[in-house]
Structure 1
Amino acid sequence: MRLFHKKAIMGVGVLLIFIATILTAAIAAGVLVRTSGVIGVKAVEVEKVARERLTTGMEFVKITGYSNTTAGTIENIEIMGRLKAGSSPVDLQEMFITFVEGSNVFTAELEYNSSSNETCSFDNVTAETSYCFEPLFGNTNPQVEEEELIYIRYKLNESHKLESNDNFELQLIPKVGEISIINVRVPSIKTYAVQIY
């Protein structure tokens, strides 16, 4: 009888070790499942942020320079812009415009007063430090949304006016998203409105 008793005790020990192994494996599997779920959620969040940063932004449709025809120089720049394909809305209050010409670099921010009925004109902006916008299609709030087309107006200082064949760069820099950059050369200035791009 003692022989069977000893084997029974060994069998119970093996059974306990087997159960402990299964419980440990179950706990480890639960931890792995939970961790993979958390990692999956984080991956979706990272993908969303990455997609927003890559697709969000403005694109240039047309750039027009307005000249002082007697001096033959461009003093005002009007950008027609819209959202890039697939872009999230862009808040113009959080977007900067950078103008680069030679060693001159100027950054402008939106001059916007929601309580004012002022229209966007070159006279209403401070040269080289601010810009204004006017919707061609869309509403008047500074949030550019899908299918909206806007005019952005920017003014140059007297000492930085553009002449024929001058090269310059414009950058539209949203808070979140891709920077839009365009390098252009001023064509011959013969009329008041000169299409640059």
Structure 2
Amino acid sequence: MKYVKKSKRFINTSYQIGMKEGNILQGNIYKSVLSVLNVTPMDGGKKMSRKGISGIGVLIIFIAMILVAAVAAMVLLQTVSSLEGQALATGKQAKGEVSSKFQVQSVVGEANVSNNSIVYLRISLKVAPGSPDFILNRTLLSYQTEHVIRTGIKYVKTPEGNNTAEGARNTVKGRTDVYTVVWLNKDANMSQAQKSAVMPEEIVEAWYYAKDLGPYDRVSLAITPNVGTVSRVYFTVPSVITKDVVPLFP
């Protein structure tokens, strides 16, 4: 009987020890979980510890930094896009300024043989490759000799149905402040609206009233578009004028 009682006491003692060790193990697991979550055990069921609150604060700051970085990235992208647009516009404008130009093919003079002088200048022009259409009312002519300088000479259209040499001659006769244009690849009845611009595939002849150019007179002509390069040409009137039409350039 004593042996039996002793055995029961041993069993009870072993059970108590096992329960104690189990509680210790359970407590260790609980602490490990709290450690991973960066939270300490509740103090009497009250508030979370300062360490837990600090962890949440760090998380809030981290999220705020991400939001600030996102906003900064958006602003940077908008700035880059704006600068790219300005660069493209500037490049386009620069290209236009470089490529926009009239090419002077030739210059001939209509002469008064009896007076040994040149009365009208006929300037054959073509738009340079890569140039846009030339708006004529924005294109000025300059005329200079040893005796006279005329600048800001403006374009005027020939009358309706007069896209001809005769129409051009009558349009500028007696006027040194204007020039006109005849389209060599268009018919005489071309519309007035078509006379506003010169397209790249067209060849035109600008007419100007020079009045009385004499032998050996040196002449400088300049065609200035609104945007682009100035076209210049120089020539000297021959010493003797024997024909009604005199080649002057080239």
Give the TM-score of the pair, scaled to structure 1.
0.87
How far 1:121 moved relative to its partner? Answer: 2.9
User: Matches of residues 1-197 of structure 1 in structure 2 within 5 Å?
Assistant: 1=40, 5-102=49-146, 104-107=148-151, 108-112=153-157, 116-118=160-162, 119=164, 120-125=167-172, 126-138=174-186, 140=190, 141-142=194-195, 143-157=197-211, 161-188=212-239, 189-197=241-249
Show structure 2 runs of 5+ residues with no match.
Answer: 1-39, 43-47
Q: Contact 2:224–2:230 at 8 Å: present in 1 too?
A: yes
Aligned to 2:11: none
AA at the equivalent of 1:146? P
AA at the equivalent of 1:144? V
- Identical aligned residues as a percent: 26
Return closer, same or farther for 1:64/1:23 CA change in 2, 3 Å cut-off: same
CA distance in 1, matches of 2:227, 2:68: 46
**Structure richer in helix, relative to its length:** 2
Q: Contact 1:137–1:147 at 8 Å: present in 2 too?
A: no
Aligned to 2:8: none
CA distance in 2, matches of 1:20, 1:121: 76
Return closer, same or farther for 1:113/1:77 CA change in 2, 3 Å cut-off: closer
Larger radius of gyration: 2
Show structure 1 runs of 5+ residues with no match.
Answer: none
Return closer, same or farther for 1:36/1:65 CA change in 2, 3 Å cut-off: same
**Structure 1 stretches of at least 4 aligned residues deviating more than 3 Å after TM superposition:** 1-4
**Structure richer in strand, relative to its length:** 1
Secondary structure at 2:184 match in 1: strand
Return closer, same or farther for 1:65/1:113 CA change in 2, 3 Å cut-off: closer
Q: How many residues align?
A: 193
Secondary structure at 1:121 match in 2: helix
Return closer, same or farther for 1:26/1:103 CA change in 2, 3 Å cut-off: farther
Q: Contact 2:122–2:207 at 8 Å: present in 1 too?
A: yes
Q: Which has the higher contact order (CA 8 A, sep 6+)?
A: 1
